[in-house]
């Protein structure tokens, strides 16, 4: 992977899990990082790690489903670092895990807005800053929504993740005009905080069996969920010039989970 020194990246969902690991990985490669998350105090920890290894980061406290705040936050990062080369549209939630019959329209909207509309917003407001010099955008989708449809109760989540795939491919075609590459990653089960952030209410799912927790050992390669750092290695590659001929593609990173 070639040098990335002095480049600028925006990473959403940078306080935790895959976003945090990727922020640290890119900072190690010399990239200046805009850390975007709801949880500013946690992004502070990511920033500390980056500064301890001699990197640079700024935090913007943003809800990625809010158009104005996304636009402002991207502008803040560009103002701080003087440009924008990479975008990791990664923030996401499992949302309410419940049957279609019991899911409220508001719960559906929350998951779709946080995961899918946010991807559109993050891409849209990055374009003006990237169209002159080109760059790379990576979107975090999931095996749920593309290859695996086993988690009953996650219809909204899976729909949002399928939508991100379609959006990423359309964006790759459209933004090729500007030399901007767009690729989609589809992780399997990864060891992050997303499960803890899932909305669960006791007794709500009597009628439906919901495997909220992924069973251990259903990854043939390592017999365990992946680590966020393993996903960060993939994002690092897709951002870099080593992937200069790759756009509009999806990469599954699941330890073989979807082979079963
Ligand atoms: P995580 O919960 O550890 O991190 C997600 C981060 O996104 C959190 O810091 C959270 O505060 C932030 N976030 C949530 N809603 C936000 C909002 N409205 N505005 C700004 N920030 C917001 O989870 P993770 O597993 O690292 O998730 C990252 C991405 O990976 C998500 O899109 C998720 O769907 C996807 N993914 C995760 C797995 C897995 O098993 N962990 C598998 C496939 C895909």
Using one digit for the tens of pLDDT, what is the confidence trace for 63-86? 999 999 999 999 999 999 999 999
CB-ligand 1 contact for 90 (6 Å cutoff)? yes
Task: Say yes or no to pLDDT of 201 above 80.
Answer: no
Domains and CATH numbers, the chain: 8-255 (3.40.50.720)
User: Rg (Cα) of the chain, in Å, rounded?
Assistant: 18
Burial of 131 (0-12, 13-18, 19+ CB in 10 A): middle
Q: What is the mean pLDDT of residues 100-128?
A: 97
Q: Known catalytic residue: 252?
A: no
> Which residues fall within 8 angstroms of residue 169, CB to CB, at 6 or more apart?
182, 184, 248
Predicted pLDDT of residue 218: 83
CB-ligand 1 contact for 91 (6 Å cutoff)? yes
Task: Say yes or no to pLDDT of 143 above 70.
Answer: yes
Higher local confidence (pLDDT), 208 or 149:
149
Predicted pLDDT of residue 217: 65
Tell the residue nearest (CA) to atom 26 of ligand 1.
Answer: 17
Label residue 215 by pLDDT band (50, 70, 90). low
* Ligand 1 mean position, distance from CA 135 (Å): 23
- Point out the catalytic residue in the list 86, 125, 157, 252: 157
Using one digit for the tens of pLDDT, what is the confidence trace for 39-58? 777 899 999 999 999 999 99
* Ligand 1 mean position, distance from CA 181 (Å): 22
Which residue do the tokens 């002159």 mark? 132
Predicted-assembly ipTM surpassing the 0.90 threshold? yes
> What pTM was computed for the model?
0.95
Label residue 2 by pLDDT band (50, 70, 90). confident
CB-ligand 1 contact for 187 (6 Å cutoff)? yes
Q: Do residues 184 and 250 make contact, with C-beta atoms less than 8 angstroms apart? A: yes
Average model confidence (pLDDT) across the chain: 92
10, 13, 69, 197, best to mutate for ligand 1 pocket (most atoms within 8 Å of CB):
13
């Amino acid at each position: 992977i070639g040098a990335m020194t002095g480049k600028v990246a925006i990473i959403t969902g940078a306080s935790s899990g895959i976003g945090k690991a990727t922020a640290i990985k890119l900072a190690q490669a010399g990239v200046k990082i805009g850390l975007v998350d709801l949880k500013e105090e946690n992004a502070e920890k990511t920033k500390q790690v980056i500064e301890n290894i001699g990197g640079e980061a700024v935090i913007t406290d943003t809800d990625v489903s809010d158009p104005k705040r996304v636009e402002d936050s991207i502008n803040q990062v560009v103002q701080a670092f003087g440009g924008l080369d990479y975008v990791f549209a990664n923030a996401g939630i499992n949302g309410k895990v419940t049957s279609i019959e019991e899911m409220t329209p508001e719960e559906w909207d929350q998951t779709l807005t946080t995961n899918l509309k946010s991807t559109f917003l993050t891409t849209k407001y990055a374009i003006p800053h990237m169209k002159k010099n080109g760059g790379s955008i990576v979107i975090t989708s999931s095996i749920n929504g593309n290859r695996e449809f086993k988690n009953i109760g996650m219809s909204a989540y899976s729909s949002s993740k399928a939508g991100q795939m379609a959006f990423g491919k359309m964006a790759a075609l459209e933004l090729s005009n500007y030399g901007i590459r767009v690729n989609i990653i589809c992780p399997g089960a990864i060891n992050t905080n997303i499960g803890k952030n899932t909305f669960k209410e006791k007794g709500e799912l009597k009628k439906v069996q919901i495997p909220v927790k992924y069973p251990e050992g259903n990854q043939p390669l390592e017999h365990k969920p992946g680590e966020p750092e393993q996903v960060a290695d993939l994002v690092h590659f897709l951002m870099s010039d080593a992937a200069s001929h790759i756009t509009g593609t999806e990469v599954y990173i699941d330890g073989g989970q979807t082979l079963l």
